[in-house]
């Protein structure tokens, strides 16, 4: 069996498929049964409760702000440790690691995702010849295809320019290496184009939809289901601007999982009993990972919800009570930020709740945006009506029923902005949605308020189409694979305005 050349890319140190399988087996023999490989997939191909994927993104979009106050007296490391990410410095990975931000792997999303891709590839290579029934094989292979698609999707949106970059076409953009087998040659993997990566993502999702569509088992929420396949597909096609495909897949999701939690009657938010993210929410389609994904060091103490995010919630929007809360004046001596996020706290409430979730609310938003784009390009009033149907269905569960009114048809550009703002309200601090959305919106300029001490406030600016909209490849990856070109970077230190 060919040597797995993952050292160059993943720094894993596994010498062969056989060794990999032996190390992961629960016995002294190489796994042979379908369930053995299903377990390998779950333990090596899924994010675990300790996996951190891209926690630094919680500090990089326009939904976060830096705060300072008496409660941080003598605790300035909450501000300084991850300041490099908040300031969009070209070397923020090294800066944050050297400052002791968190586990070293937390800033190497490249290694984390490719390591899990290896787990999916092992399952895909050996499941067909494993000892087990056909239904289980289809289920595990379907899960593996979805996960591999998801990981490549995240990688290409972290380390490459967006698919819909207005200055070029995806076939001319450097993407990321495609890793489709555990049996790699000695050749160091090269970057495929963004178009090639998305083509493979779509192919994997098609395979998964076919396999899991035949099974449709009542799987646990911590494993991928046939509904999850189509939710991810609706997201992928949204980024590709294939609007009819977005609608087709979102419709599939909502035909099986239309549930939305109703914030009316929620009362005093109880994250333990009613987590927004986790198995306790009826919207959840898949949950995974670690609640610390949204809480790199300093978040909650010095970095929290931005004033611009809080300002986009209208009066009567119950999310401004349930998803986050405003800090009262009497509490400011102990709590520095003006706002405190609550939607992720449910993920920490028990061992059965993780940190990230795919929810049915996203399907409504994906569907609405796709219909608005059809309305914009075709002038189709029927498409506008369908978009409003999705948006109003979601809003009715989020707005105080005493003040709720249906949105009505508007010019296409106005309706699109309304949809995007609604998406920001609903999906902030989840699954890197906001950062990726800003990229596909054209990479607009955004500003960060930075308060290094109680007497100083400065502004850092991410320019329109700034190079730091693309995450730099970690240096340790480049050292192992010298054929990988680094992404474009700004020159020198980013200075405040």
Task: Give per-residue pLDDT as tens, 176-214.
Answer: 999 999 876 556 789 999 999 999 999 999 999 999 999
Are the C-beta atoms of residues 66 and 456 closer than 8 Å to each other?
A: no
The most confident of 1-10, 28-37, 92-101, by mean pLDDT: 92-101
Confidence of residue 102 (pLDDT cuts 50, 70, 90): low
Percentage of the chain with pLDDT > 90? 77
Closest to 257 in 3D by CA, of 152, 361, 142: 361
Q: Where are the domains of the chain?
A: 1-52+108-217
- 322: its two tokens: 């349930």
Burial of 455 (0-12, 13-18, 19+ CB in 10 A): exposed
Torsion sign across C-alpha atoms 236, 239, 242, 243 = positive
Q: Which residues pair with 446 in a beta bridge?
A: 462
* pLDDT confidence of residue 354: 57
Distance CA 43, CA 41 (A): 6
Q: What is the mean pLDDT of residues 19-47?
A: 74
Global pTM value: 0.93
Confidence of residue 280 (pLDDT cuts 50, 70, 90): confident
Distance CA 89, CA 82 (A): 10
Complete DSSP assignment for 320-337: HHHTEEEPPGGGTTT--S
- Helix/strand/coil for 492: coil
Please give the residue that has the higher pLDDT: either 390 or 220: 390
Torsion sign across C-alpha atoms 441, 469, 63, 476 = positive
Residue 413 is given by DSSP the state H
- 311: its two tokens: 């300002």
- 10: its two tokens: 């993943």
Lowest-confidence pick of 251-260, 273-282, 482-491: 273-282
Q: How far is CA 96 from CA 398, 457, 469, in A?
A: 37, 21, 18
- 143: its two tokens: 């899960």
- 193: its two tokens: 């184009």
- 358: its two tokens: 């795919």
The residues, ordered by sequence, that sit 6+ positions from 401 with a Cβ below 8 Å of its Cβ are: 264
For 1-52+108-217, CATH gives 1.25.40.390
């Amino acid at each position: 069996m060919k040597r797995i050349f993952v050292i160059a890319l993943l720094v894993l140190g596994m010498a062969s498929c056989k060794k990999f399988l032996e190390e992961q087996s629960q016995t002294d023999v190489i796994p042979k049964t379908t369930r053995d490989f299903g377990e390998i997939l779950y333990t090596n191909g899924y994010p675990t409760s300790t996996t951190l994927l891209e926690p630094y993104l919680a500090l990089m979009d326009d939904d976060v702000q830096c705060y300072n106050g008496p409660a941080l007296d003598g605790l300035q490391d909450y501000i300084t440790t991850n300041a490099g990410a908040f300031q969009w410095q070209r070397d923020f990975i090294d800066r944050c690691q050297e400052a002791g931000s968190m586990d070293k792997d937390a800033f190497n999303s490249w290694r984390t995702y490719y390591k899990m891709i290896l787990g999916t590839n092992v399952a895909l290579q050996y499941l067909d010849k494993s000892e087990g029934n056909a239904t289980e094989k289809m289920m595990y292979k379907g899960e593996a295809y979805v996960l591999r698609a998801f990981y490549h999707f995240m990688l290409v949106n972290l380390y490459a320019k967006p698919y819909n970059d207005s200055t070029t076409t995806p076939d001319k953009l450097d993407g990321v290496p495609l890793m489709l087998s555990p049996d790699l040659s000695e050749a160091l993997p090269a970057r495929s184009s963004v178009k090639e990566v998305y083509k493979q993502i779509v192919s994997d999702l098609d395979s998964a939809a076919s396999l899991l569509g035949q099974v449709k088992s009542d799987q646990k929420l911590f494993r991928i289901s046939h509904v999850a396949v189509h939710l991810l597909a609706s997201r992928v096609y949204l980024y590709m601007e294939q609007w009819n495909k977005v609608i087709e897949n979102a419709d599939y999701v909502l035909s099986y999982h239309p549930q939305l939690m109703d914030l009316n009657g929620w009362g005093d938010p109880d994250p333990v009993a009613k987590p927004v993210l986790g198995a306790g929410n009826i919207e959840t389609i898949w949950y995974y990972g670690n609640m610390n994904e949204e809480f790199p060091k300093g978040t909650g103490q010095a970095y929290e919800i931005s004033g611009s995010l809080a300002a986009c919630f209208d009066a009567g929007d119950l999310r401004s009570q349930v998803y986050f809360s405003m800090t009262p004046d009497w509490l400011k001596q102990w709590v520095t930020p003006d706002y405190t996020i609550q939607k992720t706290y449910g993920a920490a409430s028990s061992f059965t709740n993780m940190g990230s979730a795919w929810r049915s609310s996203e399907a409504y938003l994906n569907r609405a945006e796709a219909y608005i784009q059809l309305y914009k390009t075709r002038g189709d009033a029927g498409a506008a009506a369908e978009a409003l149907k999705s948006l109003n269905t979601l809003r009715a569960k989020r707005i105080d029923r005493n003040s709720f009114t249906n949105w009505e048809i508007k010019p296409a550009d106005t309706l699109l902005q309304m949809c995007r703002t609604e998406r920001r309200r609903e999906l902030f601090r989840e699954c890197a949605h906001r950062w990726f959305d800003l990229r596909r919106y054209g990479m607009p300029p955004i500003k960060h308020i930075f308060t290094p001490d109680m007497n100083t406030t400065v502004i850092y600016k991410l320019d329109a189409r700034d190079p730091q909209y693309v995450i730099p490849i970690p240096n340790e990856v480049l050292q192992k694979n010298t054929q990988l070109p680094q992404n474009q970077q700004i020159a020198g230190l980013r200075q405040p305005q």
